[in-house]
Amino acid sequence: MRMPIIGGNWKMNRGSPSSAITMLRVLKRLVKNIHNVEIVIAPPFTALFSVIQYLKKTVIRVGAQNVYFEDSGAFTGEISPKFLKEIGCEYVILGHSERRNIFLESDEVINKKIKKSLSYGLRPIVCIGEHLEDREAGNTERVIEKQLEYTFKDLNKKDMMNIVIAYEPIWAIGTGKTATPEQAEEIHRFIRNYLGEKYDNDLKTGIRIQYGGSINPSNAEALFQKENIDGGLVGGASLEAESLYEIIKSAERS
């Protein structure tokens, strides 16, 4: 049995420690009796340390939204996995379509970030997903397969076991347009089968694959009930404690 995982990707929102903790104070109380769902909050860097300190003795884990692939040095503006580890960060979101599209990160760069993060014991949540044009042209599986091949290049089974994949169709992110549970399940199954062939059955059945893209309290449950969907990466609806809690409960029920 795979434990579902709900990630709250705050993106460039709630960046001050006080704004982050105002929300988390409520969430912390709400999730007290949640046991079968892993919860990860990824605030902006400016709130990261305070959030880690605040959530120390709770079940809520903390992730960063980005990292660079070097340990230290002349890389103005960048943060290393070593720094994240040192402040107690456990997860890092990598390969998000906003990083790929706005900041032009390639599969190769993402691959380097994954390897460096893993070497420090951070757990990458790695996003993949197709553009609307890819889907309309019937190329979704081809695009996903290419991303899987290059993003996870030269990673062994042990590495992969420490990774969570987030399937996020780009046309569904922040648009209010969710993939239907059937559309999402089809790609999740495809990803699982691909990994089963590349690695083995253990990884195929063990790796967690989240869905992401306009998840909200009313569409979450139907998505999470699908066999191959292990929770979700939530953007907009993760900014308020009540809506995130509703989504977490849907994952617990599924």
Using CB under 6 A as the criterion, which residues of the chain lie in contact with ligand PGA when the complex forms? 9, 168, 173-174, 212-215, 233-237
Please pick, among 96, 105, 130, 188, the residue that the annotation labels catalytic: 96
- Catalytic status, residue 96: yes
Among this protein's residues, is 168 annotated catalytic?
yes
Q: Which two tokens stand for residue 233?
A: 């990466």
DSSP string, 162-188: T-EEEE--GGGTTSS-PPPHHHHHHHH
Query: What residue number has its CB nearest to ligand PGA?
Result: 235
User: Which one, 92 or 203, has the nearer CB to ligand PGA?
Assistant: 92
Structure tokens at 201: 């059955």
Q: In the bound complex, what is the minimum distance in angstroms from residue 244's beta carbon to ligand PGA?
A: 11
From 98, 105, 130, 168, active-site residue: 168
Q: Given the structure tokens 């014991």, which residue do they identify?
A: 121
Closer residue to ligand PGA in complex, CB, 9/117:
9
Shortest distance (Å) from residue 148 CB to ligand PGA: 18
Q: How far is the CB of 199 from ligand PGA (least distance, A)?
A: 25
Is 66 or 80 the residue whose CB approaches ligand PGA more closely?
A: 66
Phi-psi label, residue 121: left if phi above 0, alpha if psi -120 to 50, beta otherwise = left
CB closer to ligand PGA, 170 vs 203:
170
CB of 184 to ligand PGA, least distance (A): 13
CB of 212 to ligand PGA, least distance (A): 4
143 close to 134: Cβ distance less than 8 angstroms: yes
Listed in sequence order, the residues at least 6 apart from 39 whose beta carbon sits closer than 8 Å to its beta carbon are 5, 6, 8, 31, 59, 60, 61, 248
41, 10 Cβ separation under 8 angstroms: yes
Q: Is 223 exposed, middle or buried (0-12, 13-18, 19+ CB in 10 A)?
A: buried
> In the complex with ligand PGA, which residue's Cβ is closer, 88 or 174?
174
Which positions are annotated as active-site residues?
Answer: 96, 168
